[in-house]
Amino acid sequence: LQLHAALDQAITNGEFRLVFQPVVALDTGRTCGFEALVRWLHPSRGTVPPLDFIGIAEESGLIVQLGEWVLRSAVAAAAQWPGPTYVAVNVSPRQFRAPGFVGLVQRALADAGLAADRLVLEITESLLLGDRDQDRIRSELDALHRSGVRIAIDDFGTGYSSLSYLHQMPVDLVKLDKSFVDTITTSPSQYDLVKGIIGLAHTLRLAVVAEGIETEDDRKLLIGAACEFGQGFLFARPMAAADALTWVTAAG
Ligand code: G
Ligand code: G
Ligand code: MN
Ligand code: NA
């Protein structure tokens, strides 16, 4: 049904919320940051998950306005957290390519009073490997990185994953996709593969955040694979902004 029209109005009507999922150090359990995840509280449908509307927002271009709202809301929330807790914001390729993205990030940080090193931008491999605008994208990533913003590759391992390109990019961390984590407890060969991916990331001086950690066995195996950071239901589900503030304040 007219999701696009509804989406357009949803921004004006204030129907979006952010939830925040802790990213923890796997050995100590200490919270290092949170990933911001958008939710649409549709008046009649209830909560619409991002997989049902991010694609539509990308196609229509609304992702630019929605992405600005997400970025500004996320850095405003992070400005209330004790340093150095960071916020990670998902940036879709179309949003990154829109004119003025770098300036927008800098204004959002300045307006919120948040240091640049407390923002992580999660981008996808497709942005780095696309066949147009590569020089411009590279120089904008460099500008963001030089200003202190950290860059993460989301869904790492699921795309083309030519690891060689990463080593020339201003990238700081990779998010190991949940689909890999899901298999490590049942398949020794998958576990070996995951160890290899993490080892390659470390060779490229990239830190690794494993996603979708649901069990203590997952956590132990990932520590055994030298993975530093993780997020998943074992630690916490995504939570409202007020709960994230309580969470990170209580954790000290
Ligand atoms: O929160 P959930 O697990 O349902 O998220 C599903 C997908 O939606 C994830 O892959 C995530 O990257 C994407 N997503 C969540 N929030 C945002 C957002 O604010 N912007 C973009 N571009 N993608 C998001
Ligand atoms: O695509 P991206 O990696 O940005 O989004 C992360 C998504 O994974 C979010 O929608 C979040 O709700 C979901 N997620 C986070 N931790 C877990 C987990 O432990 N199990 C499952 N099934 N989903 C998770
Ligand atoms: Mn993400
Ligand atoms: Na992911």
Residue 247 maps to a domain: no
Residue 68 maps to a domain: yes
Residue range of the domain that includes 163: 3-242
Among 90, 94, 233, the mutation site with the greatest number of ligand 1 atoms within 8 A of its Cβ is 90
Q: Number of folded domains in the chain?
A: 1
Confidence (pLDDT) at 161: 59
Confidence (pLDDT) at 252: 52
pLDDT tens digits for range 38-49: 999 999 989 999
- Tell me, yes or no, if the pTM score tops 0.90: yes
- Listed in order, strand segments (DSSP E) in 8-65 are 16-25, 31-42, 46-48
Q: Helix, strand or coil for residue 37?
A: strand
Residue 211's CATH number: 3.20.20.450
* pLDDT surpassing 90 at residue 160: no
On average, the pLDDT of the chain sits at 93
What gap in Å lies between CA 41 and CA 10, rounded to an integer? Answer: 9
How much of the chain exceeds pLDDT 90, in percent? 82
- Residue list, ligand 1 pocket, CB within 6 Å: 37-38, 49-51, 54, 70, 90, 92, 154
Confidence (pLDDT) at 165: 76
What gap in Å lies between CA 128 and CA 10, rounded to an integer? Answer: 31
Residue 106 maps to a domain: yes
User: Which of 56, 57, 85, 83 minimizes the C-alpha distance to 70?
Assistant: 57
